[in-house]
Amino acid sequence: MDAFFASVEQQSNPKLRGKPIAVIGSAGRTVITTRSYEARKYGVKTGMNLYEAKKLCPPLIFVIGNNEKYTHTCRELQKIYLRFTPEVEAYSIDEAFLDVTASHHLFGGPEAIGNTIKKEIKKQFGINCTAGIAPNILLAKLASDIAKPDGLKWIRPEDAGSVLECLPVKELWGIGSRFSEKLDAMGIKTCGELGRAPASLLRNKFGIIGEHLKAMGMGICNRPLHVHEEDPKSIGHSMTFDKNLSQRSAIEAEMLKLSDMVGRRARRYGFIGRKVTLTVRYPDFETFSKQTTLAGHTNHTHEIYRNAVSILDTIILKNSVRLLGVSLSSLARDQGQALLFAEQRKEKALLQAIDAVNDRHGDFKLIWASYLRNIAPPRVISPAWKPSGVRHIGVKN
DNA sequence: TCTGGGGTCCTAGGACCC
DNA sequence: TCTGGGGTCCTAGGACCC
């Protein structure tokens, strides 16, 4: 989708159409999540703080994101894609890969599919999207980037070389600012140059990734579509506070809330984890994390919390805290293993009862009193949200 | 009205084992 | 008259993505 969150907002509120708008979170400290094409002309970028954006674009209108609208639209979009092929990977909340190798002839070719999907989305939701067609997803992503907004581009195998020859390496999916700087320092600026660079040189400099880089420069990509949701590697939550925290009690209350959110999501999707990671960010943005490995797996709120606190006990905080994060990793599926101790069985029963209440009446309806004062309004949804699996968070089914 | 939140993968050093 | 080679797991940090 083109400027997905912003387009949805402009569609649902006609007064916003044709104007520079930016979708933001409701928290005190928030950034631009998506900006309309009208705002892009002024140089407003994703990740910018509001002050900076307003300075660049004085008429900019801030709109607090509405997660339900975006997730609902996302799910409806999946239905459209599935009319053309079962091979659909929901890559993020506004992006999907469709493998139409086996089905395109039924619909008049890939271009016809792209155009039909574009029309159908425009008709149903009033929003624009861009389709990229190519022999692999690296080039399909590139094609859609080139064709944005409201476009359709087909990079045929025989055209890949000429498209890539003069393209800056940074334009490729997987090459960010760091790699592009390092490549630049080696005299490699374009994909053409990257594709021709000696494999040994890239390997010495970047290890295994160096070989991937060369392949990318040549437009080669063998990544298959992830049609079926894969088991997650980690489940985590983090939060930037409106005001930096310095009191230990306030920090612990936030850690309990984050541990509860993590545990609840793990329980909902049937995962247990063996590593707990605590992330801390200071006001100067220095950020670090520490993790601990548990004796066994868990998804119990207080076991996650206790381990996070034990990590905190090993840290001498040198300043107040801007952000805290709690994450559970080394995940396994919860096979309902018997719990050894009566205390654990009791806690499990308690958590099941709490989860049942919250499933029925909404998140945070039944919580621990120690973080009662910490319930913040929901943050704007991560664009990496997926319509199924554990990334499906914070929104009612 | 200074800088969000959700992830994945890779690296490199150290502990530990046989 | 100096100290191998194979491996696993753990940890912290960095790069990338939406």
Q: Say what the pLDDT of residue A392 is.
A: 65
Query: Among all strands, which nt has the closest C1' to A4 (CA)?
Result: C18
Residue A35 has pLDDT above 70, yes or no: yes
**Distance, CA of A147 to CA of A126 (rounded, Å):** 19
Segment A310-315 shows an average pLDDT of 96
CA distance A299 to A82: 34
Q: Smallest Cα–Cα separation from A173: which of A110, A233, A88, A92?
A: A92
Instruction: State the DSSP H helix or E strand holding residue A152, giving kind and residue range, or none if neither.
Output: strand A152-154
pLDDT on residue A28: 87
* DSSP codes, A116-142: HHHHHHHHHH-----EEE-SSHHHHHH
Q: Which residues of A are annotated as catalytic?
A: 95
Among A1, A157, A146, A155, CA closest to A77? A1
**CA(A231)–C1'(B15) in Å?**
30
Average pLDDT over residues A129-144: 98
Considering only CA atoms, name the residue closest to the C1' of nucleotide C9: A293
A216 contacts A190 by C-beta, under 8 angstroms: no
- A39 touches A93 (CB < 8 A): no
- Per-residue flag: A27 CB under 7 A of strand B: yes
Q: What is the pLDDT of residue A23?
A: 97
pLDDT tens for A333-343 read 999 878 888 98
Q: A288 CA, C13 C1': separation in Å?
A: 8
Residues 6+ apart with CB under 8 A from A379: A25, A26, A27, A30, A239, A394
**Distance (Å, rounded) from C-alpha A333 to C-alpha A329?**
12
- Position A221 scores a pLDDT of 95
Which residues 147-186 of chain A have a CB under 7 Å from nucleic chain B?
A: none
Nucleotide nearest to A323 (CA to C1'): B4
Nucleotide nearest to A91 (CA to C1'): C18
Q: How far is the CA of A196 from the C1' of C9 (A)?
A: 38
Query: What are the two backbone dihedrals, phi and then psi, of residue A385, each rounded to the nearest 5 degrees?
Result: -55, 145
pLDDT, chain A, mean = 94
User: In Å, what is the separation between the CA of A294 and the C1' of B17?
Assistant: 21
Give the model's pLDDT for residue A208.
Answer: 86
**Model pLDDT for residues A383-394, shown as the tens digit of each residue:** 888 887 777 655
Q: What is the largest CA-CA distance in chain A?
A: 68
How far from A208 is each of A199, A200, A204, A212, A296, CA to CA, in Å? 10, 11, 9, 7, 33
Q: Is A33 (CB) below 7 Å from strand B?
A: yes
- A385 or A107: whose pLDDT is higher? A107
Q: Which nucleotide is nearest to A287 (CA to C1')?
A: C13
CB within 7 A of nucleic chain C: A 91-95, 141, 172-180, 274-275, 277, 288-293, 330, 382-384
Q: Are A333 and A270 in contact (CB under 8 A)?
A: yes
Which residue is it, tokens 């295994």? A208
d(CA A236, CA A147): 35
| pLDDT confidence of residue A396 | 44
Residue with tokens 């797996």: A297
Contact A37, A51 (CB under 8 A): no
Are A313 and A271 spatial neighbours (Cβ–Cβ below 8 Å)? no
Residue A325: nearest nucleotide (C-alpha to C1'): B5
Distance A31 CA to B13 C1' (A): 37
Which residues of chain A (41-80) touch nucleic strand B at CB < 7 A?
46-47, 49-51, 54
Rounded mean pLDDT of A111-125?
98
Instruction: Provide the positions of strand B that have an atom within 7 A of a protein CB.
Output: 1-12
Q: Is A370 helix (H, G, I), strand (E, B) or coil?
A: helix
Interatomic separation, CA of residue A118 and C1' of nucleotide C7, rounded (Å): 53
By C-alpha to C1' distance, C11 is nearest to A291
CA distance A290 to A280: 9
Is the CB of residue A48 less than 8 Å from the CB of residue A25? no
Report pLDDT digits (tens) over A174-224: 999 999 999 999 999 999 999 999 999 998 899 889 989 999 999 999 999
Distance, Å, A369 CA → C17 C1': 37
Q: Does the pLDDT value for residue A372 go beyond 90? A: no
Q: What pLDDT digit, counting tens, does each position of A70-102 carry?
A: 999 999 999 999 999 999 999 999 999 999 999
Question: Is any atom of strand B within 7 angstroms of residue A395's beta carbon?
Answer: no
- Strands lying side by side in the sheet with A61-64: A34-35, A21-24, A61-64
- Can you list the domains of chain A with their CATH numbers? 4-65 (3.40.1170.60), 234-371 (3.30.1490.100)
C-beta of residue A65 within 8 angstroms of C-beta of residue A82: no
> What's the CA–C1' distance between A289 and C7, in Å?
28
Q: State the pLDDT confidence band at A376, using cuts at 50, 70 and 90.
A: confident
DSSP A249-265: HHHHHHHHHHHHHHHHH
- DSSP assignment of A299-342: --HHHHHHHHHHHHTT----S-EEEEEEEEEEEEE---PPPSSH
Q: Pairing mode, if any, of strands A321-333 and A271-281?
A: antiparallel
Nucleotides of C under 7 A from a protein CB: 9-18
Q: Name beta bridge partners: A279.
A: A289, A325
| pLDDT higher than threshold 60 for residue A41 | yes
Range in A110-114, A221-225, A327-331, A368-372 the model is least confident about:
A368-372
A379 touches strand B (CB under 7 A): yes
The pLDDT confidence band at residue A49, using thresholds 50, 70 and 90, is: very high
Q: pLDDT tens digits, residue range A220-239?
A: 999 999 999 899 999 999 99
Region for A250 from its dihedrals, namely left if φ exceeds 0, alpha if ψ lies in -120 to 50, beta otherwise:
alpha
**Minimum-distance nucleotide, CA of A62 to C1':** B1
Least confident of A170-174, A297-301, A340-344: A340-344
Using the predicted structure, report yes or no on whether residue A48 has a pLDDT greater than 80: yes
The predicted pLDDT at position A394 comes to 54
Q: Inform me whether the pLDDT recorded for A397 exceeds 70.
A: no
CA distance A254 to A266: 18
pLDDT band at residue A395 using 50, 70 and 90 as cut-offs: very low
